Amino acid sequence: MSSASTKLLLLFWCVATGSYAQKQLVFLKRGNVIARFTEGDRFNFKLKNRGLKEGYITELTDFSLITAALDTIPYSFIEKVNIQGQRTKNFAKRLGGVLLIGGLGYIAIDQANVLVGSNKSGFDDANKRALGVAGVGSLLLLVKSRYKTVSRGVTIRAIDYKSPYYRFK
């Protein structure tokens, strides 16, 4: 191998290992990731002293994050985190989906029974209630909470590529 190809191989190796070195800030609840930020991401936090911090994460340490404005924010000071744009599992969304599908499914089955002839034709009170259930389900699907409270059971960790919670981009 020539000296130039050895240097090129060494450069690629350094770049590849450097991409694994980027830390991520994860918010965990019962072992599930509810929010994830990487170094360089824009963040929006509400602090316990009612202050609002927003900016870019430049460095993550074990107990704090450092912003582009060189502010050091300890994880224990974070009260709420903006989770818009994060994929989250939400009980209200699941319930809304069940209600929407259940209400519309009931109406569809009832109308199929009308076509077969086992039910009388028309839109009766049961169908109106099912339509109301489907409407409530659709509203639950549309409601999005902007901030997630860092409460009991939520842990904040700065992780690297060795963690099982790390997500490669």
The Cα 18–Cα 125 span in angstroms is 64
Strands of the sheet with 24-29, listed across from one edge = 32-38, 24-29, 154-159
- Is 118 within the bounds of a domain? yes
Same domain, 72 and 132: no
- Is 169 within the bounds of a domain? no
φ and ψ at residue 50, rounded to 5 degrees: 70, 10
Same domain, 11 and 57: yes
What pTM was estimated for this model as a whole? 0.55
Question: pLDDT tens, 84-132?
Answer: 666 555 677 788 899 999 999 999 998 888 888 887 877 788 889 999 9
| Amino acid at residue number 147 | Y
Same domain, 95 and 50: no
Domain count, the chain: 2
Domain span holding position 116: 91-142
Same domain, 82 and 107: no
Same domain, 23 and 69: yes
Question: pLDDT tens, 40-91?
Answer: 888 888 888 878 888 888 888 888 888 888 888 888 888 888 776 665 556 7
